[in-house]
Amino acid sequence: MPFIGRRRTARRAYGFDEIALVPGASTIDPEDVGISWQVGDLRFALPFLASAMDSVVDGRTAVLLGNLGAAGVLNLEGIQTRYDDPDAVLEAIAAAPAEEVVATLQEIYQAPIREALVGGRIAAITDGGAPCIVSVTPARAARLAPLAEEAGAAAVLIQSTVSSDRHRSRRGEVLSLREVVERSKVPVLVGNCATYAGALDLLEAGAAAIFVGVGPGAACTSRRVLGVGVPQATAIADAAAARDEYHRRSGRYVPLVADGGIGVGGEVAKAIACGADAVMLGSALAKAEEAPGRGYHWGMATPHAALPRGTRIRVGVGGTLAQILLGPAVVDDGSQNLAGALRTAMGLCGAADLRAMHEVEIILAPAIATEGKRLQFAQQVGQGR
């Protein structure tokens, strides 16, 4: 292990840009590979979840995603459950000057969460024929999770920057993930984590799925503000090792969701190869024509009253949700037809399904994105954007 000082060692970690997948000795027709996945009794045709961010998911997009075979996660602590007319609020966020946007978001998210809106938003999604997955923070899980379950939510995601069943605080009672899982009649998904030990902690608490990623999101600034995070390729591989060890010991297989740092098809394929069963997409879907963010995207911790850990970014508007997930692609940068890209990569690697993709060979290849691409970079097309 390398030293960063006389008595301080540091483990090397890797991001998606530093690895590549090796083609298999045999290949498979992309149409013959399986990319469905399951959490609890919920089965999805596509391994894509839309992030629980107000710029990405509202009732309408959740229904559209469900109809496509994916799923949108509704943030129960966001604009949709604080305002009768979220569209007006979203317009205000999009119109805010860059130098005022954090203060604007902080003010907007001070409005109280209204229980009636929680039930109404969930009902709108389920009435649209889509399974409703909702997100809550540990601080509000005891109050909101039962409300969501009663309203018809199909699953509850308890999510924070880093989640742990061994959190300590002198300020009062701390949420027990084990107790929430035991009381719930629907699958309880938990995140986020970025290490073997952190993943194992969540698995042993009974999580139905674990989410991996601390700070890689396009709109997240946690790594700069806090200095905390692990590059996604290593984080996913370490969490997958914990998942596999837990499966060996308990006989219960728990899906792993890679959350953050995934915007193009190659990153989806690499996340699955590192051990994920599905990926959570934020900025990649915030640019959809149907997305509520009006061409903007902001992190969940951006409105934090004391220490914002996100920013509003301009992602633009390009393509429908169907185009982004299923194609046909009309751009050359890998941001559309993510399912087709994943199927093609799996076929080239000889992986018949997602579990088989976990076993493909991965190499360290820091030049993979630039080798032979001088003209693309010079002309700012394809990989050179």
Beta bridge partners of 109: none
Six token digits for residue 35? 């990319």
Of 12, 43, 224, 314, catalytic: 314
Phi, psi (deg, nearest 5) at residue 267: -70, -35
Based on the residue annotation, tell me whether 224 is a catalytic residue of this protein.
Answer: no
Report CA dihedral (76, 79, 83, 86) to the nearest 10 degrees. Answer: -130
Six token digits for residue 352? 């018949």
Phi, psi (deg, nearest 5) at residue 105: -65, -40
Q: Nearest Cα to 277, choosing from 208, 347, 364, 323?
A: 208
Q: Tokens 């799923």 label which residue?
A: 71
Residue ranges of E strands in the chain: 3-5, 8-9, 19-21, 37-39, 42-44, 48-50, 71-75, 133-136, 155-159, 188-193, 209-212, 256-259, 278-281, 296-298, 312-314, 362-364
State how far Cα 44 lies from the chain centre.
15
CA 36 – CA 278 distance, rounded (Å): 9
Q: What is the Rg, in whole angstroms, of the alpha carbon atoms belonging to the chain?
A: 20
Q: Nearest Cα to 39, choosing from 321, 289, 278?
A: 278
The 3-class secondary structure across 232-276, one letter per residue, is HHHHHHHHHHHHHHHHHHHCCCCCEEEECCCCCHHHHHHHHHHCC
Of 82, 121, 193, 220, catalytic: 220
Based on the residue annotation, tell me whether 314 is a catalytic residue of this protein.
Answer: yes
Beta bridge partners of 297: 313
Burial-class residue 382 by CB neighbours within 10 Å (0-12, 13-18, 19+).
middle
According to DSSP, the β-strands at 155-159 and 312-314 are unpaired
Question: How many helices (H) and strands (E) would you count in the chain?
Answer: 15, 16
The residues assigned a catalytic role are 220, 314
